[in-house]
Every structure is written in C-alpha cells, then in structure tokens.
Amino acid sequence: MALLGVPPLPDLDGIDRKIAELEAAAAHHRVLASETGHAHRFAQANSGPAADAVDNHVTGRHGTTATATDLADRLSNTAGTLRFSRDALVWVGNLLAGLGILAVAAAVYAPQLLPRLRTLAAKLWTRLREITARIGALMRSMSTTLTNRRVDKIANRFHDAWRAPRKLPDGTYKPRPKPTTDPVWIKKHGTDQVDIANTRYRNLPTDWQRENRESARIGLQLVDEARASGVDVRTERFMEEASSVVHDKWLVRNRNWASEEQRRPYELLSEAEKEKDRDVIRMVLGI
C-alpha cells in the first residue's frame, strides 16, 4: 500500500460486530412480537376494561406487536444494507491488494508502471472512502431514527400524564385552549387555537410538542450517558443528580415565565416541584 501511496486497508472487524449486533437486536424484537401474542390470547379469553386495555396495548396501531415488528424490520434492513456495504469494501480492498502485489513487481521489474498503478489506486481509495462515509451516514441515520422514536414515546407519556387529572366522566378532558404558531397545523385546521388537553400528542402543533420533546431528549441523554459510563441509574443519587440537570435545562428554556419558586436551584425547590423533574427520569427509565 505504501508503494501505491494509499493508507492501509480498513479493519472490517468493527463492521462485522455491528452487523451481528443489529441481527441479534432484530431477532430479539421478533421474539417480543411473537410473545405479545400470548397476552393477546389471554385478553381475548376475558372481558372487561382491563382485558380491552391489554388488547389495545398489544394490537393497537402503536401497540407492542406493531412496534416490535417495525423495529425488527428496520434493524434487519439496516443489517442487510451494512452487509452489502461490507461486501463492497471487501471487493475494493481486494482490488487494492491486487494492485499492491503488482506494485511490488513493478518496483523491481518495471518502475515506469508505478505512476499508472498509483493513479488507479488513488481512484479505488477514493471509492473506498465514499463507501465508508456512506456506512457512517447509515449508522448515524439509524441512531437518530431510533432516538427520535424513543423521544416521541416518552414525550407522548409526558403529555398523557399531564392531561390525566383533567379527564372527565365522558372520557374527554377539561378543555385547555392555547394559541399556536405552527403554520402547517394552522393551515390544516383553519385556526390558530388548539385544545391541548383534548388533542393527542402526535396531533399537537410542533410548538406544543416542543417542551415535551426537549424534556424527553434531555432525560434520555442523561440516562444513556450514565449507563454507558457504568453508572447505576436506579440509585437515589443518580435520580437527584439527573433531576437537577433536568430542572436547570428547563429553567433555561422557561425562565421568562417561571414562578419565583421555580427559579430556585433544584436543592431549594419544594418536593412537589422536585417530583416534576424526577418524573422525567422515571418515564425514561420506564421504557
């Protein structure tokens, strides 16, 4: 490779490990999708609100079966794309290796051929870099997609938890009209007023989804980083430290309208206010 003027060939072990991880995760979610069938059959054998709730949770549009199956398909497709990319890397790498052998022979018997071999090697190496860049983009895209799904799931729970105390006997919620600046939502509904209590999270305007998403994103980041560092996220110490960060970040976003008490440091908040921050971490841990 030095004779050709290109760096050594990339190590494929990391890609192989990632393919194996993706395939294992896909298999795991397919098992989850299969096992939810047991709960579904149990619910069908019974009647009442609890059985109906289980049935909806398992087979609903956003139920566990659909979610697990969708994730399994995404993971499997990503593993397949990654395997195809790896094969392309091997193919280009083999061509470069062959050129390397020719370069050794040329250096001994026909030095005048080296410039042409180096030009060809440079083109192949550029192609190799393009492939690895696409692999990186693929993995970043997958990571972003899965993270966004987790954020949306947590944010949805935040919204449902907020409106739960407003639920009325007829199943609707005590109205809470608010203005929105989301132009797409306004155009679709013909008004800039949205009843956030009687609107499901996924149907909210983007400006009324934002606060839930930000809290979910921060909580998720804190838990993921702690786990990656080997921290026990079930301890009281982690809960208090993470909740303090959640509060600080919330205050940065909402200081203009926050109450005098809410502007205090986390340690000086009332237990009721601290519980709001702790609930963010609890919901993240709950998924």
Q: What is the pLDDT of residue 50?
A: 61
Side-chain-facing half-sphere of 82: CA atoms under 13 Å: 25
How confident is the model over 146-155, as pLDDT tens digits? Answer: 788 889 989 9
Task: Say what the pTM is.
Answer: 0.56
Selection from 166, 256, 161, 152 nearest residue 209 by Cα: 152
84 versus 187: which is more confidently predicted? 187
Q: What is the pLDDT of residue 37?
A: 65
Answer yes or no: is pLDDT of 78 > 70. Answer: yes
**Domain coordinates in residue numbering, the chain:** 13-164, 169-286
Answer yes or no: is pLDDT of 138 > 70. Answer: yes
Answer yes or no: is pLDDT of 175 > 80. Answer: yes
275 versus 9: which is more confidently predicted? 275
Q: What is the pLDDT of residue 44?
A: 61
How confident is the model over 228-256, as pLDDT tens digits? Answer: 899 999 999 999 999 999 999 999 999 89
How confident is the model over 18-45, as pLDDT tens digits? Answer: 899 999 999 998 888 887 766 666 656 6
